[in-house]
Structure 1
């Protein structure tokens, strides 16, 4: 017979990517500050673990991208899902707190709701871009949905979702590890090819080739590659450049070549001009073009409603185009760099106020009560 669950409140936090791990850790710390006796379980990365979350699995178990890779990993993913459902009952989980990562988290939200548990979804799935049917699932299976982009709440309300815009977690104070001040004229290109192994395989060769072209043209130009801690160093060996943590590269970069996603907001808030590139398999690209409903895949452009950041997608993603688009952004006084930085100021004004993690924790504690 299994032991009876502890009377102390239990919360399960589910994050499937590096950005979710960081945000989940901030929320976990805020929950402990407001509810010291809470027992925290979850799936995520090292930052959540350091914040006191007892992990059932790490990010390496969840780092999948694209249909073919998902199919190969289905048995292990379904096995993990069954373990989580059993833990819901064994530990008496009172609140399920999923963070983005809808493929798994929407199924777990349904399971939690059927078991009579509260569900607080943080960082809603991007139904504004594609698969709007997920909005109905959010309305059915979630007590409340917390959005981090200002335009999401109105759309979700149309589907009957109890929704609240809580501001973006990136606005919370964050210190980047910085090297000593660079020598006069020294510049650094940061490469951000992604947090999933398949993303890195698709994007890094193109990003690295573009950076090499620029390094040949500009003396003293350095290149750093951002490597999330859950991805192995061997994945980056072919680039020929040193790797560092994403935080370190953000603290050093003059300009960046990056994939799409939350990283574009991080770079913008750090004042780092960028060029965005993205590539996937031809089949997945063809399917995505039919499903995606937005004019840009760059969050900076979507939030501001302007084409601030250049984006090179699929066949247009070539080293030559990336190098040409990035080169003027390396010059402090160039019109292109100054215009982009003005756009970043407009972005910050639209992302709400700092204190997102505290607001999420407060809503979690309210639901538990």
Structure 2
């Protein structure tokens, strides 16, 4: 009997990271498994045969995707042809709902089982996606405790596996090493700036975050702003800011006195590191107008969604100005402030709601079960 073939669909940097962790767990259970699909450098390093460049896939927003529509149409045709012509035993879809939901439907029609890991945010958008996901995915591995029940109500086999950010958390780079590598003063506190993991996010948030940092430093001259650069973002994209830059994002958050974070996975990383922060997010104005009509949740920051209340301040679209970011974060930088103490206590509570480590291993076990069923 030939070894199984799994088609992995991971369309953004965080999906690439989490899918790679599942691949490592899969190879422990199925050493001969053949893995093909979409992804980036992490999946490539794990020996996955990649069909497309991750950098061209990583787009957020309705208007922002328009320039790449031709590429996406080509890619979808290629994936459909692959499912039609190659024996694929399982599709492992990781987040990235626009493409992955369509591929899940095509796989279902071809009789190929689908395991969906990191389910689309159906609770934030529309009920139609919940029904589609329940119809087309054989099993759904969710990473937030509040996600499983709405999917089960729609008839899905949805299981909470814990959050992948909890697992394999290696010790962070020490403060002395981080500060030394950046050429900064070891006796002064750090201010972390996380403008995003995609080029277009950085383009939209960089100037905003840098100007907010300048205003904060005027009030707190002891602070040293540092930009976090995701591996998917070229160094040149941050060069114009004229600030120190590090790829050691977790260490930066761990050692920072406070942070400004673009909405997304970075907000959960900041929560796990216990740093006070504010959340900002800007998209194209048309995307924002459409999103306001479609989005059904009261918050965008993951810690707030998990807690079911405001734990960290959110400044979105027109409200995300340098003045308001600075004014909101400054009280949180005071070690004696009640606001800081409250946030740190509530962030600790958020961490307790994320389950236990081992999400990748649980997803790998689900994949093996589906292959053998």
TM-score class, shorter: over 0.9
Q: Does 1:152 align with 2:171?
A: no
Give yes or no for the alignment of 1:331 onto 2:334: yes
Gaps of at least 5 residues in structure 1 are 1-5
| Residue 163 in structure 1 maps to residue 165 in structure 2 | no
Partner of 2:173: 177
Deviation, structure 1 residue 41:
1.5
1:287 paired to 2:283: no
What secondary structure does 1:20 align onto?
helix
State the secondary structure of the residue aligned to 1:295.
Answer: coil
Q: Within 5 Å, which residues of 2 pair with 1:288-303?
A: 288-303=291-306
With the length of structure 2 as denominator, give the TM-score of the two structures: 0.92
**Residue 180 of structure 1: SS of its match in structure 2?**
helix
Question: What does 1:321-360 correspond to in 2, within 5 Å?
Answer: 321-360=324-363
- For residues 262 and 174 of structure 1, the distance between their equivalents in structure 2, rounded to whole angstroms, comes to 15
2:57 is matched with: 62
- 1:249 and 2:252 aligned: yes
RMSD, aligned α-carbons: 1.8
Q: Secondary structure, in 3 states, of the residue corresponding to 1:320?
A: helix
Aligned length: 364
For residues 12-59 of structure 1, give each alpha carbon's deviation from its aligned partner in whole angstroms, at most 9, with x where no partner exists: 211111111111111110001111111111211211222222221232
Unaligned runs of 5+ in 2: 180-184
CA distance in 2, matches of 1:222, 1:146: 40
Structure-2 separation of matches of 1:58 and 1:72: 16
TM-score, scaled relative to structure 1: 0.93
Runs of 4+ in 1 over 6 A off after TM superposition: none
Contact persistence 1:28–1:52 (CA under 8 A):
no
SS at match of 1:223: strand
Distance 2:22 2:326 in 1: 38
Map 1:1-369 to 2 at 5 A. 7-175=2-170, 176-180=172-176, 185-245=187-247, 246-369=249-372
Match of 1:3 in 2: none
Contact kept in structure 2, 1:25 and 1:51, CA below 8 Å: yes
- Per the TM alignment, residue 201 of structure 1 is displaced from its structure 2 partner at its CA by 1.6
Q: CA 1:335 to 1:184, structure 2 compared with 1: closer, same or farther past 3 Å?
A: farther
| Kept in 2: contact 1:177–1:251 (CA 8 A) | no
CA distance in 2 between partners of 1:232 and 1:92 (Å): 37
Distance 1:129 1:98 in 2: 19
Tell me if the contact between 2:6 and 2:33 (Cα under 8 Å) persists in the aligned partners. Answer: yes
Structure 1 residues 56 and 322, CA gap change in structure 2 (3 angstroms): same
Q: Give the secondary-structure state (helix, strand or coil) at the position aligned to 1:215.
A: helix
